[in-house]
Amino acid sequence: MPRILLQDVSVLPASPGTDAEPPPILHPFSLELAGPRTAVIGANGSGKSTLLKLLNGLVLPDTGSVTVDGLDTAHKGAAVRRRVGFVFTDPLSQLVMPTGRDDVELSLRASVPGRAARRHTAEARLASLGLLDLADRSIYDLSGGERQLMALASVLAVEPDILVADEPSTLLDLRNTARLRGIFSSLPQQVIYTTHDLEFAADADRVIVMENGSVVFDGGPQEAIAAYRALALGVR
């Protein structure tokens, strides 16, 4: 499995231009992420999305370092992003072509030479996720959940070593959530994702709980979810 190492990392807010000192977005912490499935849970504003964006250099730490198999995100960002695929919460921020097929083919342009070969490879990737029947529909005619699955297909098309997904089930109905969970459980990649769906979080091998910019629990899914429930409900 790939190894992600965060050492003494913190993220600070942009300077407000006043004498007030705003709290860090992420307080200093260290983590090693090397297992198959890691979920990150916590309340809105707890720092989950910022943590994920550190993993492929979308956000750089203000202190400390983030490395992916020894590649520092601050200095080797392009190489890191070739290894770490990122799925955003809003698929319309990720899908840039008229149809899902076009988007997957665009993702393959650097790795698969030749239009016919890209078309064949794109169809194979879409079929493997059960999305080939949606390939030629306008992304604006797809449901939010279908768009999210198509964005996932576009990221997975280039076969990254690590898949990072920020609340990928937010727009999905029950059927597509089950579909997503099945896809995640079968992927060969290391998968790291945030979610508010505690059943989805329980699929992971490891669950990290965030609160007010800090890692407050890190362990097995049942223990972590129990800790989060206690925290969210104010149980001591």
Residue 56 to residues 4, 18, 59, 62, 89, Cα–Cα distance (Å)? 10, 31, 8, 15, 16
Whether residue 99 is contained in a domain is answered as no
Question: Is residue 185 in a domain?
Answer: yes
Range of the domain at 10: 4-94+161-232
Task: CATH number of the domain at 182, please.
Answer: 3.40.50.300
Q: Is the pLDDT of residue 126 over 90?
A: yes
Query: What is the number of structural domains in the chain?
Result: 1
Query: Is residue 135 situated within a structural domain?
Result: no
pLDDT at 110: 86
Tokens representing 42 are: 């916590």
Q: What is the pLDDT of residue 20?
A: 67
Mean pLDDT (the chain) is: 92
- The tokens for 130 are 């059960």
At 17-54, the pLDDT tens digits run: 566 677 899 999 999 999 999 999 999 999 999 999 99
49 domain-assigned: yes
Quote the pLDDT of residue 19. 63
Closest alpha carbon to 65 in 24, 31, 35: 31
Task: Return the pLDDT at 108.
Answer: 93
**115-128 vs 100-107: helix crossing angle, rounded to 10:** 110
In a domain? residue 9: yes
User: What sign does the CA torsion over 86, 90, 96, 100 have?
Assistant: positive
What percent of the chain lies above the pLDDT cut of 70? Answer: 96
pLDDT tens readout for residues 43-53: 999 999 999 99
Considering Cα of 136, then 137, then 138, then 143, what sign does the dihedral take?
negative
- Whether 227 is covered by a domain: the verdict is yes
Q: What is the mean pLDDT of residues 71-93?
A: 94
**pLDDT per residue over 160-191, tens digit each?**
999 999 999 988 889 889 999 999 999 999 99
In a domain, 210, yes or no: yes
Distance CA 85, CA 26 (A): 22
* Each residue's pLDDT tens digit, 192-222: 999 999 999 999 999 999 999 999 999 999 9
What's the rounded mean pLDDT across residues 109-113? 88
Of 88, 214, 66, 211, the C-alpha closest to 154 is 88
Q: What would the mean pLDDT of 120-127 be, rounded to a whole number? A: 92
Supply the pTM of this predicted model: 0.93
**Burial level of 139, CB count in 10 A (0-12/13-18/19+)?**
buried
What is the distance between the terminal CA atoms of the chain, rounded to a whole angstrom?
Answer: 37
Whether 106 is in a domain gets the answer no
